[in-house]
Chains A and B, each alone.
Chain A
Amino acid sequence: MELKKLQEHWDSFPEVSMEERPVLSSDLEKIVVKNPLSDAFYLRRRLLARIIIFSVLWIVNAVQLRSQWISDGPDISELVVLFGLLTYCLYFHIRLLFFADYPTLLSLPLISFLGKLETVLDKYILSFRFVSGLSGFYLLALIQYLLWTWNKGAHETLSHNDWYKWLILIFISVSVDILFLHSVIPKYRKLLAGVRKYREGIQAKAQYK
């Protein structure tokens, strides 16, 4: 009975006033080419930017590694680790971009859509770990360069002491990771928790019904 009343009310629902109505005819083309996902959920551009940056770094690193290998340079171990990390980072980000498949994401059924959003957000949060690791290497290189310009003696000592270099590298990586944990990541964690809570709520309701 209640549903019947509601149906009647629904069928007699007035049209949205002209003033409040979204423009349908002339602006329809603009509407349909706009990206429907908000910035927080749409990570495509950010992933692409990272892939481009990592690709450039990978090429530079490969060239450096080759020259060090030929001249039997002192930084081979560092460059090999960096090469491995960059390769895995590239693979991880490309895989994430293909997995997210943004053009077809919204055509998935709700639960699969939310599940995929959760996975993408979760992996994106994880990707900050790799960025921290990489920043350790590049900040160490920056420190070495600054030492080379200011104090050549200190630079020599650091260059020939692998133990110190790795210790500084780990310290920088952990510091950057902590920085991310308190600056960028909470926003994505909150979003991930919101999506998960919503999906679980819908599933619980459906089971209860």
Chain B
Amino acid sequence: MNNSSKKGGFDVDIRSLLKIQHKKVYAICRLFADTYKEHQFLFTNIMAAASQNIRGRRENSDKQTLVLRACINMAALHSITTEMAPVVERSIQFKSPDYQRSMTRLRQSIGEASDYEKFRLFLELEKMPVEELTHLTGLPHSKHVSGKKKEKEAGLRKTSFNFIPYLKRQLVWN
């Protein structure tokens, strides 16, 4: 099939990729959604984000990484908006008794894990190398944190341009 073939403006290649990857999307939803409504909402948003990432991708970026970044970024936004919402008692609410049981057991197993731990766990459980987390989050891998940090600090000392911090903040948007 031609990769660039389109059906009503929708790339067939993206459709097949998303269909292959949708189980990973379900998997991250398990870690971040408490009710089936949240699950559906997060799922559709991740799918939309993934397709947007692939459509706007640059030559050198890998589609798999873009889908995973969509998963992690949308899960993070979901957490931020959930935290900002008025406090209500959060409980697992799924219609299927089997799924409800499995979700309750999963929540008991992971306890009050932070989102960073959930991301690590997601990669671990989906049998992906934990080093992948560096590409997905932009955080240095824990083993190299101290070494890299020292290198970065030394580099900064060498190349620091004596900018006035206020002006730098105003002129250079990071």
Determine whether A110 belongs to the interface, using a CB cutoff of 8 Å to chain B.
yes
Are A106 and B73 interface neighbours, CB within 8 A?
A: yes
Partner of A209 from B18, B52, B72, B116 at Cβ < 8 Å: B116
Q: Which residue on B lies nearest to A21, using beta carbons?
A: B40
Q: Which residue on B lies nearest to A102, using beta carbons?
A: B52
Are A28 and B139 interface neighbours, CB within 8 A?
A: no
Distance, CA A40 to CA B74, complexed state (A): 14
Query: What 0/1 readout, one digit per residue, does chain B (61-74) give for beta carbons within 8 Å of chain A?
Result: 10000100110111
Contacts of A114 in B (CB 8 A): 76
Determine whether B145 belongs to the interface, using a CB cutoff of 8 Å to chain A.
yes
Determine whether A141 belongs to the interface, using a CB cutoff of 8 Å to chain B.
no
Are B70 and A194 interface neighbours, CB within 8 A?
A: no
Contacts of B105 in A (CB 8 A): 9
Q: Looking at chain B, what size class is its interface with the partner chain?
A: 35 or more
Are A202 and B137 interface neighbours, CB within 8 A?
A: yes
Partner of A107 from B53, B76, B95, B124 at Cβ < 8 Å: B53
Distance, CA A17 to CA B10, complexed state (A): 28
Are A107 and B56 interface neighbours, CB within 8 A?
A: yes
Could you tell me how many residues of chain A have their Cβ less than 8 Å away from some Cβ of chain B? 55
Q: Which residue on A lies nearest to B97, using beta carbons?
A: A17
Contacts of A104 in B (CB 8 A): 53, 56, 58
Determine whether A178 belongs to the interface, using a CB cutoff of 8 Å to chain B.
no
Are A17 and B95 interface neighbours, CB within 8 A?
A: yes
Distance, CA A46 to CA B52, complexed state (A): 20
Chain A proximity of B120: nearest CB distance (Å): 8
Chain A proximity of B133: nearest CB distance (Å): 9
Give the dominant DSSP class at A's interface.
Answer: helix
Are A107 and B116 interface neighbours, CB within 8 A?
A: no
Query: What 0/1 readout, one digit per residue, does chain B (18-31) give for beta carbons within 8 Å of chain A?
Result: 11001000110010
Interface on B for A, CB 8 Å cutoff? Answer: 8-10, 14-15, 18-19, 22, 26-27, 30, 36, 39-40, 43-53, 55-58, 61, 66, 69-70, 72-74, 76-77, 79-81, 83-84, 94-96, 98-99, 102, 105-106, 109-110, 114-117, 119-121, 124-125, 135-140, 142, 145, 173-174
Interface on A for B, CB 8 Å cutoff? Answer: 2-3, 5-7, 9-10, 13-14, 16-17, 19-22, 24, 28-29, 31-38, 40-41, 99, 103-104, 106-115, 119, 123, 190-191, 194-195, 198, 201-203, 205-207, 209
Show 25 residue pairs from A and B whose CB-CB distance is below 8 angstroms, ordered by the A residue: A6-B106, A9-B102, A9-B105, A9-B106, A10-B125, A13-B106, A14-B96, A17-B94, A17-B98, A22-B39, A28-B18, A31-B48, A34-B48, A36-B49, A36-B74, A41-B77, A99-B173, A106-B52, A109-B136, A109-B138, A110-B139, A111-B138, A111-B139, A190-B84, A201-B116
Q: A13-B30, A31-B47 are in contact. List 18 more A-B contacts (CB 8 A).
A: A6-B110, A10-B27, A10-B125, A17-B99, A22-B40, A28-B18, A29-B8, A32-B52, A104-B58, A107-B69, A109-B138, A110-B119, A110-B139, A123-B173, A191-B84, A201-B115, A202-B137, A209-B116
